[in-house]
């Protein structure tokens, strides 16, 4: 089973390997820099080599780089679009340097361009990237508030279909639940996976952000909970990690650190749900 967490790179990106091992993970996700500012990935050659060597020696993989929260691929604003493309280019280049397979990105908000306009903007922005061989960009499902896109599976499929690159998809369970896809029962999980397969195709699903939700289905509220302790609950989470179309995918936790529980507790919880 491949399960891990989004861990810190404080002190050097190579520290992520030990941070992942400390929580019991064997795959995972990182930011290459603070996600709240426009900043270039801070990776030197020695750190990159140590990261690659540590990963090969101790982890199963894969790793995912999560792009900056400031990136907005759907925007109609020229300056923000250019900054977003530049940021994404630097992330895919960092992924190549680190030997990381995936760069994950939210589509962003169309802010008045309309759904179709926003989806076109996102696809054409991604087309501007020079994606290195061995790196795949994943578009992530969203909770769907305001003018943000990605809350509907159709949005993910549309960008995938309109883009010249071979994009993949990352499904965030808390986001999908908040967007109205009910994952709280085994039957619900089966229905959602079948719908995803019909609209997007499970062959293009490369990663799952495994998060429970503090808010009810369809509320569009994005707040993560510990695995099995939110509104999705134990039954839904158990089916997700055991569903035949999902069980072999990497599960990456973005769960909170609160109530005396952190990533290690959640990794153990996921293993305990495995059948």
The answer to whether the Cα torsion of 49, 50, 53, 54 is positive or negative is negative
Q: Which CATH superfamily is domain 64-85+104-273 in?
A: Divalent-metal-dependent TIM barrel enzymes (3.20.20.150)
Write down the pLDDT at residue 25. Answer: 98
123-155 pLDDT, tens digit per residue, is 999 999 999 999 999 999 999 999 999 999 999
**Three-point CA angle 253, 196, 252, nearest 5°:** 10
Predicted confidence at residue 215, as pLDDT, reads 98
pTM: 0.97
174, 230 Cβ separation under 8 angstroms: yes
Separation between Cα atoms, residue 66 and residue 29, nearest integer Å: 7
Give 64-104 pLDDT, tens digit per residue: 999 999 999 999 999 999 999 999 999 999 999 999 999 99
Span 181-225, pLDDT tens digits: 999 999 999 999 999 999 999 999 999 999 999 999 999 999 999
Domain ranges of the chain: 64-85+104-273
The mean pLDDT of the chain is 97
In this predicted structure, the answer to whether residue 112 has a pLDDT above a threshold of 90 is yes
pLDDT reading at 42 higher than 90 = no
pLDDT tens for 151-177 read 999 999 999 999 999 999 999 999 999
pLDDT digits 0-9 by tens, 75-84: 999 999 999 9
CA dist 175 → 110, 145, 160, 187, 198 (Å): 18, 10, 19, 19, 19
Task: State CA 236 to chain mean position distance.
Answer: 19
């Amino acid at each position: 089973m491949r399960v891990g967490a989004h861990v810190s790179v404080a002190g050097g990106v190579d520290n992520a390997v030990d941070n992942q091992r400390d929580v019991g993970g064997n795959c995972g996700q990182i930011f290459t820099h603070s996600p709240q500012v426009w900043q270039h990935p801070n990776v030197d050659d020695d750190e990159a080599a140590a990261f690659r060597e540590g990963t090969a020696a101790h982890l199963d993989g894969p790793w995912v780089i999560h792009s900056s929260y400031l990136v907005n691929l759907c925007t109609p604003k020229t300056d923000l679009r250019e900054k977003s493309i530049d940021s994404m280019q630097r992330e895919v280049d960092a992924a190549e340097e680190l030997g990381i397979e995936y760069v994950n990105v939210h589509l962003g908000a169309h802010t008045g361009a309309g759904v179709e306009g926003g989806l076109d903007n996102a696809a054409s922005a991604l087309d501007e990237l020079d994606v290195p061989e061995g790196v795949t960009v994943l578009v992530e499902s969203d909770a769907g508030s305001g003018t943000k896109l990605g809350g509907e599976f159709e949005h993910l499929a549309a960008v995938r279909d309109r883009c010249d690159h071979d994009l993949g998809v990352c499904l965030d369970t808390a986001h999908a639940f908040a967007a109205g896809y009910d994952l709280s029962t085994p039957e619900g999980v089966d229905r959602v996976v079948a719908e995803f397969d019909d609209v997007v195709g499970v062959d293009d699903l490369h990663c799952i952000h495994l998060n429970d939700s503090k808010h009810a289905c369809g509320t569009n509220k994005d707040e993560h909970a510990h695995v099995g302790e939110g509104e999705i609950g134990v039954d839904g989470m158990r089916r997700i990690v055991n569903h035949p179309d999902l069980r072999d995918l990497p599960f990456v936790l973005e769960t909170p650190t609160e109530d005396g529980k952190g990533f290690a507790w959640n990794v153990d919880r996921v293993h305990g749900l495995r059948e």
